[in-house]
Structure 1
Amino acid sequence: MTTIKEGFIEVTGGKVWYQKHESEKNTTPVIVLHGGPGSSHYSLQGLKVLSENRTVILYDQLGCGNSDRPSDKSLWNLERFVEELEQIKEALSLEEFHILGHSWGTTLAAAYYLKKPDGVKSIIFSSPCLSAPLWAEDQEENRKLLPVEVQQTLKKCEENGTTDSEEYKEATKIFNQHFVCRLDPIPEFLKKGQQYRNPEVYNTMWGPSEFHVTGNLKDFDCTSELKNIQVPTLYTCGRYDEATPKSTEYFSSLTPNGKFHVFEKSAHMPYIEETNEFLQVVNKFLLEVGENH
């Protein structure tokens, strides 16, 4: 049996919403860091079934989902999100915990651990973005795999500053079908998640699209520090992921206790594209990491 508790936690800039799926087992909890920046826990809510083995904590970062949406743009920076995670840890009295970060959530997981490693027992980097420059390079390569007219539209809109036009959005959709979620049609469930996003957070920190990085994260790169991660780590990605298998494997090779797994039928959302295998791989890793101190 799992008991569900939810509520709000006061953090720098406002209140964030969290949901705790409490397991009866006395094992180390896992906290899930969603992507974006500015998406929400919505697409990752299926991970609550991990609570068969341990307590699972989901939360919406400030600015999106069920959390407050302040209009102060100065809040949208990596340091504040690291501070927010620390405030959540304190509020929920988490002495020890595993972190599962997805996409931008891996940026946050790495930045948090490298600043505040105490209590973190392991990290799962799901479709990692640990170097924005390398990510941008990878997307240049990925774009070359798209139909020529789509490539031309993207380039033209970026050069003309018309990245908010319909044609750019349509061309981006085609990129997403290749490298973000390959399910066709896109599940209705995912479409509903759009309303929980905050494009302002995304644009401020990242840019107009997954592959055109112009925001304040554009120079983020922690590859030189991955050797300092002393806890077990699991790096996963999809075979067709925008977080490419090549880069993901490279990151894992730099981490002393790094493991690497590719989901063969997925792009950037293996937790939805290959749910059962994703849950199996994550569960197995967390059980192996176990309660060793």
Structure 2
Amino acid sequence: MDNSGWVQVEGGRVWYRMWGPENTVPLLILHGGPGSSHLGFRPFAERISEERLVVVYDQLGCGQSDRPQQKNLWRIERFVDELKILRKELHLQELHILGHSWGTMLLAEYLKEQPEGILSCIFSGPCLSAARWLEDAEHYRSLLPPHIQEALLEGERTGNYDTEEYRNATKFYEKRHVRQTDRTKEEAAEASAAFGLEVYETMWGPTEFYATGTLKGFDRTDILSTLSMPTLFTCGEWDEASPASTGTYAAMTPNSEFHIFSGCSHSPMNEDLLSYEKKMKEFLNRVERR
């Protein structure tokens, strides 16, 4: 099976692709951002589709989905409704869900309503508390070289985040804690074109280090103790979703396990694809054997 198309939601159409063996429980992937796309998960999805049905989609405002210029659309409740519609239209009655980064925020908000048919959940590089995410970022910043710290502080003092110095300092941080592997020029251009900047800035803010948007007070740790399905929490050793924070979330969740990808940052699906694939397959297959 290999189908792709669009589903109508509030504000426009979202693009999806589902492919793999039809007689398997599908894995639905919620990408990060907000405003990113499915591209970061494409290599992983291609590999796991060899043994199970996989579903990816670009959320409204990014990737191959429509990009309406309406800031009132960029709120988490609308993204939850979008997920509900997609699941209904694609007939995903029983499934696994993997959320990454912002996708874990969306997943947690969705789980608040206790939807049926979810066999397991995976929180990959989770951000379940905006405050804790920013605390981790502040800690990691304090370990950067002094000239990098100063460049970041200068941009934030002036509000000018578009200087070469600030951009280079941000790239330095990202190389340590977001993605350690380089994209090809073609991959970088594709990812840049797919990114929904308005979504990101409206929901998070102008920079990774300050939440000024609609997600600034987000905290959905309250639902973790209510989850009954098998749940996997993962992060990289140097992940901006720190092992300490991710481990805390796992400890709050009854039927959960926790895994750290050694040597990786926030993108183990790109930095160590084989290890990421192995862990996800092992977890999903074990859940289904139960």
TM-score range, shorter chain: over 0.9
Q: Residue 122 of structure 1: SS of its match in structure 2?
A: strand
Aligned pair partner of 1:12 in 10, 30, 40: 10
Alignment of 1:31-180 (within 5 A): 31-48=28-45, 49-180=47-178
**How many percent identity over aligned positions?**
46
Partner of 2:193: 195
Larger displacement relative to structure 2 (165-174 or 268-277): 165-174
Report how many residues are paired.
288
Residue 52 of structure 1 deviates from its aligned partner by 2.4
Mark the runs of 5 or more structure 2 residues left unpaired by the alignment: none
8 A Cα contact 1:35 1:105, kept in partner: yes
CA distance in 1, matches of 2:57, 2:126: 19
Tell me the amino acid that sits aligned with residue 237 of structure 2. R
Give the AA of the match of 1:173.
K
Q: Following superposition, which runs of at least 4 residues in structure 1 exceed 3 angstroms of deviation?
A: 185-190
Write the distance in 1 (CA, Å) between the matches of 2:113 and 2:184: 38
Question: Normalising by the residue count of structure 1, what TM-score does the alignment of the two structures yield?
Answer: 0.95
Q: CA RMSD in A?
A: 1.3
Task: Give the Å deviation of 1:224.
Answer: 2.4
Deviations along 1:121-155, whole A, 9 cap, x unmatched? 11111100000000000100000111111111111
Q: Report the residue type matching 2:288 in the other structure.
A: G
Query: What does residue 283 of structure 1 align with?
Result: 281
Secondary structure of the structure 1 residue equivalent to 2:270: helix
Query: Partner of 1:220: helix, strand, or coil?
Result: coil
1:267 aligns with 265
Which residue of the other structure, out of 242, 245, 268, is the alignment partner of 1:244?
242
Given the two structures, how large is their TM-score scaled by the length of structure 2?
0.96
Equivalent position SS for 1:16: strand
Structure 2 residue aligned with 1:216: 214
Deviation larger for 50-59 or 276-285: 50-59
After superposition, give the CA deviation of every residue in 1:168-208 in whole Å (9 maximum; x if it has no partner): 2111111101101122x444464131210011100110112
Does the aligned pair in 1 maintain the 2:44–2:273 contact within 8 Å? no
